[in-house]
């Protein structure tokens, strides 16, 4: 049970790290048509995430790989029941990556407008659909003991799922605006800061609604009332959410970005802690629910994976810290010449 519990925590942690890192990329891309008033602005926005976005997506591959290796039944049922939204996310991520590379290949306004639209769609779509998917997981998915999904895409677009999607998307937009406040200067910087202030109000409203809706639409709070210490997750997340506004007001933009990062991790673990030991709850048959204990790989597999993780995960984190530190300076117009 210790191995399964450890991997349940690592599974949640890897998803949280992915949302924390690639989240500001999604946010910058979603804000792209609204803050990028000129071609120079748009190129600076792309360059602010350019050296990092593909490295950030390594965490998505890692989270998906851990799901496959540690909890293969969950992987199989998840990719079967959520096939359409996951496929849309995959296509959007591919579209975004292609757009980053193709936009500057031809110096034509029409050409650039096409890829600018692709950057927006390829950023906003994953941000929204990841929130919809995880909110539905928190709520439960209608599948039976055979792993067969009894529903369609529209069933996933229920009020709670859409609320989760809106929460994730706005949270990523705040995260992205904070990132632009760090990496840019001049008018673009000022617009990013003003946008972060405005979006923060919407984020607070969505967070309150989501916490309240989770009480009625899910069973997440059962674990919280059973283990009151878990409420610390909510308290830390709320403190980080308030910290975003506090540091923005005092023009401490890196601290504001760090606060939004903690908010994303906290929001993810709010659901992860409430789910335990369930990984993929079923709305149709309680006995079909996949948990950390009935859907895990063999103990030997989990031990080998844990050894590999302990060795290599710190190396990946160290490399990303080095990369972030290398590109920590502000993007200037001079950088666009290269």
Phi-psi label, residue 121: left if phi above 0, alpha if psi -120 to 50, beta otherwise: alpha
pLDDT at 336 over 80: no
* pLDDT of amino acid 183: 93
DSSP string across 153-222: HHHHSSHHHHHHHHHHHHHHHHHHHHHHHHH--HHHHHHHHHHHHHHHHHHHHHHHHHHHHHHHH-STHH
Q: What is the mean pLDDT of residues 90-96?
A: 95
Mean pLDDT of the chain: 92
Report the C-alpha gap between 254 and 183 in whole angstroms.
10
Report the C-alpha gap between 190 and 54 in whole angstroms.
27
* pLDDT of amino acid 54: 84
The one-character DSSP state at 330 is P
pLDDT tens figures, 46-74: 999 988 888 888 899 999 999 999 999 99
Q: Where exactly are the structural domains of the chain?
A: 2-333
Per-residue pLDDT band at 107 (split at 50, 70, 90) = confident
* pLDDT of amino acid 263: 97
Among 49-63, 90-104, 244-258, the range scoring the smallest mean pLDDT is 49-63
pLDDT tens figures, 187-227: 999 999 999 999 999 999 999 999 999 999 999 999 999 99
- Burial, 119: exposed, middle or buried (Cβ in 10 Å; 0-12, 13-18, 19+)? buried
Q: What is the mean pLDDT of residues 31-40?
A: 93
pLDDT tens figures, 128-176: 999 999 999 999 999 998 888 888 888 899 999 999 999 999 999 999 9
pLDDT tens figures, 72-88: 999 999 988 888 889 99
Q: What is the mean pLDDT of residues 292-296?
A: 92
Tell me the whole-structure pTM to 2 decimals.
0.94
Q: Is 145 helix (H, G, I), strand (E, B) or coil?
A: coil
Report the C-alpha gap between 126 and 54 in whole angstroms.
15
Structure-derived torsion over alpha carbons of residues 326, 331, 335, 336, reported in degrees to the nearest 10: 130
Per-residue pLDDT band at 334 (split at 50, 70, 90) = low
Q: What is the mean pLDDT of residues 289-293?
A: 93
* pLDDT of amino acid 55: 84
Per-residue pLDDT band at 335 (split at 50, 70, 90) = low
Distance (Å) of CA 201 to CA 74, 195, 245: 36, 10, 9
pLDDT at 314 over 70: yes
Question: For residue 73, how many C-alpha atoms fall within 13 Å in the half-sphere facing its CB?
Answer: 20
Percent of the chain with pLDDT over 70: 99
* pLDDT of amino acid 284: 85
Q: Which residues pair with 141 in a beta bridge?
A: 282
Per-residue pLDDT band at 326 (split at 50, 70, 90) = confident
pLDDT at 333 over 80: no
**Nearest of 171, 178, 181, 194 to residue 258 by alpha carbon:** 178
């Amino acid at each position: 049970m210790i191995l399964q519990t450890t991997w349940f925590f690592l599974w949640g942690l890897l998803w949280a790290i992915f949302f924390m890192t690639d989240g500001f990329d999604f946010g910058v891309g979603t804000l792209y048509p609204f803050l990028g008033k000129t071609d120079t602005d748009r190129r600076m926005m792309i360059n602010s995430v350019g050296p990092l976005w593909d490295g950030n997506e390594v965490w998505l591959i890692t989270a998906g790989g851990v799901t496959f290796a540690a909890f293969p039944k969950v992987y199989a049922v998840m990719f079967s029941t959520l096939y359409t939204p996951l496929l849309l996310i995959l296509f959007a991520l591919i579209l975004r990556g292609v757009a980053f590379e193709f936009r500057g290949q031809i110096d034509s306004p029409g050409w650039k407008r096409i890829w600018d639209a692709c950057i927006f769609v390829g950023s906003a779509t994953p941000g929204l659909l990841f929130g919809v998917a995880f909110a539905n997981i928190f709520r439960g998915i209608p599948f039976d003991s055979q792993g067969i999904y009894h529903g369609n895409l529209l069933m996933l677009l229920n009020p709670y799922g859409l609320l989760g999607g809106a929460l994730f998307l706005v949270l990523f937009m705040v995260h992205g605006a904070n990132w632009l406040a760090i990496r840019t200067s001049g008018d673009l910087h000022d617009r990013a800061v003003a946008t972060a202030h405005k979006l923060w109000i919407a984020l607070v409203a969505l967070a309150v609604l989501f916490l309240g809706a989770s009480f009625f639409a899910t069973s997440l709070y059962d674990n919280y009332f059973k283990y009151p210490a878990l409420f610390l997750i909510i308290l830390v997340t709320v403190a980080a959410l308030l910290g975003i506004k506090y540091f923005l007001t005092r023009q401490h933009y890196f601290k504001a970005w760090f606060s939004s990062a903690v908010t994303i991790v906290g929001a993810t673990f709010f659901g992860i802690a409430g789910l335990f030991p369930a990984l993929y709850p079923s709305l149709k048959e309680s006995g079909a629910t996949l948990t950390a204990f009935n859907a895990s790989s063999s103990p030997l597999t989990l031990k080998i994976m844990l050894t590999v993780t302990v060795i290599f995960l710190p190396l990946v984190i160290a490399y990303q810290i080095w990369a972030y530190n290398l590109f920590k300076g502000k993007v200037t117009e001079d950088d666009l010449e290269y």
